[in-house]
Structure 1
Amino acid sequence: MYNGYISLEEGRLDLNESYQDNYWDILPIERMQIQDEVTLPGQNKNERFSRAEEKAVKAIQKHSMNIQGKEVNPQMDEAYLLLGKSRYFDQRFVPALEAFNYILYKYAASDKINQARIWREKTNLRLENDELAIENLKRLLKLEALEDQDLADATSTLAQAYINTKSLDSAVTQLEIASINTKNHDERGRYRYIQGQLYNRLGYKDSANLAFEEVIKLNRKTPRIYLIAAHLEQANNYSIAEDNKDIILETLTDLEENRENRPYLDKIYHQKGDFYRSIESDSLAVEYYNKSLRTNSGDKKLKAINYEILGDYFFDYSQYKIAGAYYDSTMTNMVTNSKPFRIIKRKRDNLDDVIYYEDIAFVNDSIISLTALSHDEQLAYFEDYTDQLKIQAEKEKELKEIQERNKEFDNQNISKNNFGGKDQNMKTSRGPINGPPASSFYFYNPTTVAYGKNDFIKNWGNRELADDWRWSTKSKSIINENAKSQETAVVAENELFNPKYYIDRIPTEQKEIDSIIKERNFAYYQLAVIYKEKFKEYELSKETFQDLLSKEPEHKLVLPSEYNLYKLYILLGENDEAEIAKNNIIANYPDSRYASILMNPEAGAAKDENSPDYIYKILYDKLENQEYSVVITQSEEYITTFEGDPMVAKFELLKATATGRLYGFEAYSSALNFVALNYANTPEGVRAQEITDNVLPKLANKEFIDSDEDRNFKIVYYFTNSSNEEIDKFKKALDKEIEKVNVYELSVSEDIYNSTTTFVIVHGLKSKDGAIGYAQSLQEKKKDRIVHDFFAISSSNYRIIQIHKNFDEYLNFE
């Protein structure tokens, strides 16, 4: 069993070393990563535990002496304990529980009985039997006088059970006992640190700091990570008062400068960033959060927190593009679709519009500023730019040459080491080499083969394996190809260093420049609106509107900008500026809806019939009333009138919907594509793209189906270029007739097919023949006959007719 215990301890050490503690949450008492994989019978997760179990089983099989139901070999309880422990650490908890229960059943007088009880409750915890474990451990502590390590193990296991059941105050008491009685300093450091975490969770920061101080006193006796974490928790707990600032900073600086703490610099830098942020030293805080990220920490939670803090920092300073980049990095270090992930994603999605328009504004401003320069000024600008590129290229070339020289030097050293004195192959500083001697055959040594290949290519070039390979003609094709590729690369490189390459790409035609200016101005307007409405950055919005007006934008953007400026002046308490803006709008645009609102604010607040929102509601009602032509025409008018207003995207989507209902699938698809492309960063653009991707493919089929399974049919009377009075008269006559039908629940409706054709439909019929028969019976009546062109159709085919506007094809299908 000795070898079994050795294997068990080695496996346990492996578990401890491979386990990654999450210091953002309360640490578990025991370091063991629980895996979700199901272990089948005969399988093991760790060979060391398998070996320990094998040794225990072998000891039981060979040395157990069960005479008249009584075990007479006193070592068998240890064998079963080893068996249970090896199964426990191999995460086969039910078999482990069986082994521990067997000891309790068969070896009641064993000196290992208390250990078996403790390990049984550990196993119960892993099986989530927390209440049972608490009950059994409390009974054990009450009935047995446990001492030293047994007492520490029992109380620490009970503490874990209390933590699992959220009884944190009870867990603190048990950890105090465990910390005092354990003989293992690693355990003592862990127990004290967890105790400090529990005090923090309970809100007792002073008690927590005392627990962390106990960890610090252990110094090198406990793993260094506990020492560092305790220091950082203490620094986090201290209130940032004047008398504490210097102490906290000195402690963190000492931790940072200690060479032994290099593996933990990510956490130290983060804590130092928190310290500077708490005293409002933002620049230093940003520097240390970035330092923490540059350590390439393996702690994803820490990286996510650093990125999120930096994202929030730049967001608060209205640098939205940088903030967006940090939020993107935050999400890559989070669990996808977790609640924190969704919060950050929502925050990041809100930045899409502002980043999109900021990019447009920046690029177009740059282009416009270049077009305003004379040719000589453009030349001077790009000569300076290309000079910088050349300097950078030279630095990169020098660095590459240095790397190549170092690589060649390393190869030479490898070669010398391989062909050096035979003493190196014969012995080491510790004596003869135990392994087999290295082969002296050239091609059996991969290092010498690699060196030989490099030497061949250096002398002969890259030649194919063929007869007469030495002839120079064999390498011509390769040389020519290399020369061509090098020539192409040189030409491309020369273009990048040539100022003319850039100058030729500056737009010169006034029409093209005007288009860039128009796009830039619209981007400025959208940015100003977003700053005002979405982010409540009133000062930034004001500056953007003022900047836009200084650029003399097109007329349609001037009035909305001036009105928004007036509203911003009110919000910022700049009443004099607000009054000037108000008078300017009333004087220069007396007939505008903005002027009417300013002159009569109460009426405007109650109901502004000229507002985009009100007009949109009116148009939407017309859409529901099947006035599709009116909706399309008026939407086009209002899109022009309100250009620059966020409501324009709504009018575009409304127009697309009306177009689809009036002209069919192809027109609808085209209109939706226009909205999705031109308003991609609006909810309406996103909705249009969703319909294009998910809904239109389901509507694409226009083949008619004549199925016996259809149980819903209609009679469709069609009117071409008929007056509303004629259609209403026909509907009334039809309504009068269907009221006489008691067998079916019939109803009448009116649908617009296209701009010239209207359908009057009778719903509720159960078969095609029944529909035709009923229509014919209405034609054959002696009195109040209803005679008009009609056809019978199933509901599914009628849907296809309305979607694809293929009424004529259906008549031919019939």
Structure 2
Amino acid sequence: MRIFTKAILLVLLASFLVTSCSRKKDKFINRNFHAVTAEFNALYNGYNALEQGRNNLNEAYFDNYWEVLPIERMQVFEEIVLPGQSKNDNFTRAEEKATKAIQKHSMNIDGKEKNPQIDEAYLLLGKARYFDQRFIPALEAFNYILYKYPASDKINQAKVWREKTNIRLDNNELAIKNLKRLLKQESLEGQDLADATSILAQAYLNTKSIDTAITQLEIASNATKSNDERGRYRFIQGQLYNELGYKDSANIAFDKVIELNRKTPRIYLITAHLEKIKNFDYENGNKLEATELLTELEENRENRPFLDKIYHQIGTFHLNNSSDSLAVAYYNKSLRTNSVDKFLKAKNYEILGDMNFDASLYAEAGKYYDSTMSNLVLNSKPYRVIKRKRDNLEDVIYYEAIAKTNDSILDLINLSEPERIAYFESFVEDLKAKAEEEKEKQEAAERNSGLATVNNTIGGQGPRIGAPNQSAVFYFYNPTTVAYGKNEFIKIWGDRTLEDDWRWSSKGISGVIDNTANSTDNLIASASDEEKFDPQFYISKIPSTEKEIDSISKDRNYAYYQLGLIYKEKFKEYGLAKRKLQNLLKSNPEERLILPSKYNLYRIYELLGENDEATIAKNEIVSKYPNSRYATILNNPDLVSDKDENSPESLYEALYLLHENQEYAEVISKSEDYINRFDGEPIVPKFELLKATALGRLNGYEAYSKAINYLAITYANTLEGKQAQNIETNLLPKLASTDFVAESDSISNHYKVVFQFKNSEPEKIAEFQKTLDTVLKNIKYYKLSSSKDVYNKDISFVIVHGLKTGTVARTFDQLLTKEDKKKIKTPYFVVTSTNYQIIQIHKNLDAYLNLNNN
């Protein structure tokens, strides 16, 4: 009996389930079965996945507190997502659950949805797509709710999310219009009101309506149920007040964030304190109170994760109070916190660089600017600003390094033998002390390595599967010894690029370096253990020949001269410029540097208001160098302009015209004269480049290569020197081949008919070209022209252009009429454009003619 009863009950239950599972019957049981199943199965799991995905987004997102924060914490990526792809598996799962709820539990009967959970499913679907940054599909889901479920209790949420999506699609005006209509038509309360007004504030921010955005954030802050959101909205209010210049209102908003204390994320609390410090009135504010607050923030153990920001703000506070040494200490503390905020690190480096720049420590400033750029986005606006600063320091760092190095060497040269011995004995003692210290460090590292190995196998646990054998203690398996080795390498060799022959000193060290320290380190690294601690080893390396000493002295003097000009013209550091030029004149400089140095000193005296010194300098130039250009300028300041006919610029322009007219020999001769006359002035590299080009056009590849190499080395830090380096690296290798190209292999379909003449007969060349031009006009079916090219100092070419086939070019005389043939009797040869270029580059005309191609 019992078995029969159970069977009947089972049949009835199965029938009930089958009946209730139908989505086509509008029955109480059917509606509630599908509603409950959808809500507590698919939608429950879907919302769990959505929340987990949002948490992952929040954890991965870092707010940039240097700019106004966005209302919603969400990083929008630029990458295009293809159909079927997703950035986050949790959102994919949430979307799948929403889709499952719609497909399996929707009860669309007679055009009406009978399951009250389906609108919730579409809302989940839209949210999942929104957070997965598929905004168009998300918009479709929200619009479907508005179209299909106008009576839904989720209708207001759907409207708000639709406008959030519109804002992500840059439809800000449309979002503002729709949200204003929603707030006017509906009496929103609580979180719905907070969501609507906060997203409306974002739309106003995007359209630069800051005042209105602040008003909407005030409503959202009062309406939201989340203290996390309240703290964020209040903080953004403070930022916006700061943007408008209302510091008092900003401080009130930040105080409201501070009042929330532990109810809101601590980052908002700390940053609100720091923003208030930024608004501090350094003239009328209570500095003692501000100092106590900063000290309290620094010493609070809960604030350790934010010490990078706190140290930076303390440094800025001291900097504004003219406590530079304290500021430097705190900026360095901020850098040592290993902050993840790269912009903060860049800011610290930039400020330290500016402080060194203001103190005229340009080499140190350059190092800080290098570090600043390494923490900025490549080619961003802040990066380009710092790069311009850094580029302006290139020359001064280069010449300061030369001056420092050569001054040190000359000081050693001028020491007596006992003084040298005493100096290097002290130097060797320091080396021994450092070596002993490094030895102790290495022994400590080895001990730690051994301890780490023991600890890794303690308790009988062997090495992990796939891990190296710990008992072997291989160097690269221990992070302590690896770090020690890296530091030692950089200390000895510097930060060198991984490449062949990295050890050669010519490879240099990346970044800005101290040349003196670098050369000393290289010397120590190349010495044996016995030599390293022998004073005589170092004494033997001091230059002793007169030629070496003269070269060092000349390089030092030229560096002094360049530094004087750079400090005067580029940085307006007239005191520094004066000292450099005065030191130069005391150092027995070459004759070519004396007059321009005295003239620049005269100008500096005038700028500094030192009129007596200026008068003395002027009288000395006029009396000792009466025929010089500088004396002419001093005697006739009103008549002589920067663009007079004897100025370097005017002479360069005239010389360039000669180059355009192919008068290369004269260009070379005059360039050499002007280079000597204006030696040390900024225009000299231009003359050198023009001379190199003329040498190449007149004498060929080898002469051009040597001249470019000289320019690249001698004027490495000028624009022309860098251009020469680029030519040497990228262009010259392409021009090096002297092999002629067969006509069938030539990429050119142009041919030239070439007539040879001696340069000693310019009248004959001009007369022939005039006749040729007349003859070419009579040739039918071809549009031909002529030109004259210098080949070398003895030969010039007259060339016919416009022929596209070799056969026609080689029978050029057949194109002429009988009368014109009588006028053109000079022999010619035919060459492709490609081979003509090779002939001109390598001056190998004889080799080409010997190929019997003509």
Q: Bin the TM-score by the shorter chain.
A: 0.7 to 0.9
Q: 2:554 aligns with which of 507, 513, 518?
A: 518
2:611 to 563, 575, 594: 575
CA distance in 2, matches of 1:751, 1:447: 72
How high is the sequence identity, in percent, across the aligned residues? 62
For 2:676, the equivalent position in structure 1 comes to 640
Q: Distance in 2 between matches of 1:489 and 1:617?
A: 51
Shift of 1:28: 1.2
Q: Please report how far the alpha carbon of residue 778 of structure 1 lies from its aligned counterpart in structure 2 after TM superposition.
A: 6.7
Deviation at 1:367, TM superposition (A): 0.8
CA distance in 2, matches of 1:176, 1:796: 75
**Correspondence for 1:386:** 428
Question: Residues 644 and 109 from structure 1, CA distance in 2 versus in 1: closer, same or farther, beyond 3 angstroms?
Answer: closer
TM-score with structure 1 setting the length: 0.86
Choose which of 596, 612, 635 in structure 2 pairs with 1:599.
Answer: 635
Find the aligned partners of 2:154 and 2:766 in 1 and give their Cα distance: 98
Is residue 159–residue 171 contact of structure 1 (8 Å, CA) maintained in 2? Answer: yes
2:853 match = 813
Does residue 623 (structure 1) correspond to residue 631 (structure 2)? The answer is no
**Distance change >3 Å, CA 376–CA 743, structure 1 → 2:** same
Rounded Cα–Cα distance in structure 2 between residues aligned with 1:783 and 1:801: 28
Residue number in structure 1 paired with 2:10: none
Counterpart of 1:351 (choices 377, 393, 397) is: 393
Per-residue CA shift, 1:411-466, capped at 9, x if unaligned? 555555x25xxxxxxxxxxxxxxxxxxxxxx65766999565569xxxxxxxxxxx
CA distance in 1, matches of 2:199, 2:335: 37
Instruction: Give CA deviations for 1:461-512 in whole Å, capped at 9, x if unaligned.
Output: xxxxxxxxxxxxxxxxxxxxxxxxxxx9998344333322322211222221
Q: Could you say which residue in structure 2 is the equivalent of 1:688?
A: 724
Superposed CA deviations along residues 142-184 of structure 1, whole A, max 9, x for unmatched, are 1111111111111111111222222222211111100001011
The answer to which of 773-782 and 524-533 deviates more is: 773-782
* Matching of residues 32-71 of structure 1 within 5 Å: 32-71=74-113
The letter of the residue matching 2:620 is N
From the superposition, tell whether residues 697 and 382 of structure 1 become closer, same or farther in structure 2 (CA, over 3 Å). closer
1:132 paired with 2:174, answer: yes
Contact 2:779 2:816 (C-alpha < 8 Å) held by counterparts: no
Amino acid at match of 1:114: N
Aligned to 2:127: 85
Residue 718 of structure 1 aligns with which residue? 756
Per-residue CA shift, 1:277-334, capped at 9, x if unaligned? Answer: 3233333322222222121111111111221222222122221111111111111111
1:558 to 577, 594, 615: 594
Q: Is 1:218 the counterpart of 2:242 in the alignment?
A: no
Within 1, Cα distance between the matches of 2:92 and 2:826? 89
Give the letter aligned to residue 605 of structure 1.
S
When residues 85 and 371 of structure 1 are mapped into structure 2, their CA distance, relative to the original with a 3 A threshold, is same
State the Cα deviation string for residues 527-583 of structure 1 (Å, max 9, x = none): 111111222221111110001111111222212211111111112221110110111
**Cα pair 2:741 2:835 within 8 Å, conserved:** yes
- Quote the Cα distance in structure 1 between the aligned partners of 2:773 and 2:118: 96
| Partner Cα distance (1:678, 1:159) in 2 | 60
* Contact 2:258–2:269 (Cα < 8 Å) also in 1: yes
- State whether residues 443 and 449 of structure 1, in contact with CA within 8 Å, keep that contact through their aligned partners in structure 2: no
Question: For residues 744-759 of structure 1, what are the structure 2 equivalents within 5 Å?
Answer: 747-759=785-797
Contact 1:608 1:614 in 2 (8 A): yes
Secondary structure of the equivalent of 1:758? Answer: strand
Question: Quick one: distance in 2 between partners of 1:336 and 1:285?
Answer: 28
Aligned partner of 1:240 in structure 2 is 282
Deviation at 1:256, TM superposition (A): 1.8
Q: In the alignment, residue 518 of structure 1 is paired with which amino acid?
A: K
Deviation at 1:252, TM superposition (A): 2.2
Given the alignment, which residue of 184, 190, 209 partners 1:148?
190
Task: Decide which of 118, 122, 128 is 1:76's aligned counterpart.
Answer: 118
The corresponding residue for 2:545 is: 509
1:193, distance to aligned residue in structure 2 (A): 0.7
**Residue 733 of structure 1: how far off its partner (Å):** 4.2
Q: Whole-Å Cα distance in 2 between the matches of residues 649 and 505 of structure 1?
A: 33
Distance of aligned partners of 1:540 and 1:49 in 2 relative to their CA distance in 1, 3 Å threshold: same
Residue pair 2:779, 2:815 contacting (<8 A) in 1 also = no
Asked if the contact 2:396–2:563 (Cα under 8 Å) also holds between the matched residues in 1, the reply is yes
Residue 740 of structure 1: how far off its partner (Å): 5.7
Which segment is superposed worse, 103-112 or 221-230?
103-112
Q: Which amino acid aligns with 2:259?
A: K
Deviation of 1:228 (Å): 1.2
Identify if the C-alpha distance between structure 1 residues 302 and 775 changes in structure 2 by more than 3 Å, giving closer, same or farther: same
- Whether 1:549 and 2:622 are equivalent positions in the alignment is no
Quick check: 1:314–1:320 contact (8 Å CA) kept in 2? Answer: yes
Distance 1:526 1:538 in 2: 14
In structure 1, C-alpha distance between the alignment counterparts of 2:51 and 2:223, rounded to whole Å: 21
Corresponding position: 1:656 with 2:692: yes
Contact 2:813 2:821 in 1 (8 A): no
Moved more, 29-38 or 134-143: 29-38
- Tell me the secondary structure at the aligned position of residue 243 of structure 1: coil
Unaligned 5+ segments in structure 2 are: 1-39, 475-523
The separation in 1 between residues aligned to 2:231 and 2:640, in whole angstroms, is 70
Is 1:589 equivalent to 2:616 in the alignment?
no
1:470 aligned residue = none
Q: Which residue of 2 aligns with 1:302?
A: 344
- Closer, same or farther: CA 151–517 of 1 in aligned 2, 3 Å: same
Q: Taking structure 1 as reference, are residues 117 and 739 closer, same or farther at Cα in structure 2, changes over 3 Å only?
A: closer
Query: In structure 1, how many angstroms separate the alpha carbons of the residues matched to 2:342 and 2:113?
Result: 53
Listed as ranges, the matches of 1:724-739 within 5 Å are 724-735=762-773, 737-738=775-776
In 2, Cα distance between the equivalents of 1:289 and 1:574? 39
Q: 1:779 to 1:721 in 2, by over 3 A?
A: farther
CA contact under 8 A between 1:521 and 1:553: conserved in structure 2? yes
Q: 1:206 aligns with which of 238, 243, 248?
A: 248
Where does residue 829 of structure 2 map in the other structure?
A: 791
SS at match of 1:335: coil
Alignment of 1:334-413 (within 5 A): 334-412=376-454
Q: Secondary structure at the match of 2:528?
A: helix
Contact 2:453–2:471 under 8 Å retained in 1:
no
The separation in 2 between residues aligned to 1:675 and 1:386, in whole angstroms, is 40
TM-score if structure 2 supplies the norm length? 0.82
Counterpart code for 2:720: E
C-alpha contact (below 8 Å) 1:197/1:208 kept by paired residues: yes
1:706 aligns with 2:746: no
Question: Conserved in 1, the CA contact under 8 Å of 2:47 and 2:94?
Answer: yes
Contact 1:414–1:447 (Cα < 8 Å) also in 2: no
CA–CA distance in structure 1, aligned partners of residues 525 and 812 of structure 2: 81
- The amino acid of 2:549's aligned partner reads I
Q: Deviations over 1:773-794 (max 9, x none)?
A: 5646879649974432333445
Q: 2:68 aligns with which of 16, 22, 26?
A: 26
Q: 1:195 aligns with which of 226, 237, 253?
A: 237
1:521/1:548 contact within 8 Å kept: yes
2-structure distance, mates of 1:158, 1:782: 86
Unaligned runs of 5+ in 1: 420-441, 456-487
Q: 1:228 aligns with which of 270, 273, 286?
A: 270
Q: Distance in 1 between matches of 2:628 and 2:302?
A: 73
SS at 1:602's partner residue? coil
Residue in 2 aligned with 1:802? 840
Q: Residue 327 of structure 2 corresponds to which residue in structure 1?
A: 285
Spell out the pairing of 1:253-268 with structure 2 (5 A cutoff).
Answer: 253-268=295-310
Q: In the alignment, is residue 673 of structure 1 matched against residue 734 of structure 2?
A: no
Matched with 1:433 is none
Q: Which amino acid aligns with 2:564?
A: A
What is the CA-CA distance between 1:635 and the residue it aligns to?
2.1
Query: In structure 2, what is the Cα distance between the partners aligned to 1:738 and 1:37?
Result: 61
Q: Residue type matched to 1:49 in 2?
A: F
Residue in 1 aligned with 2:500? none
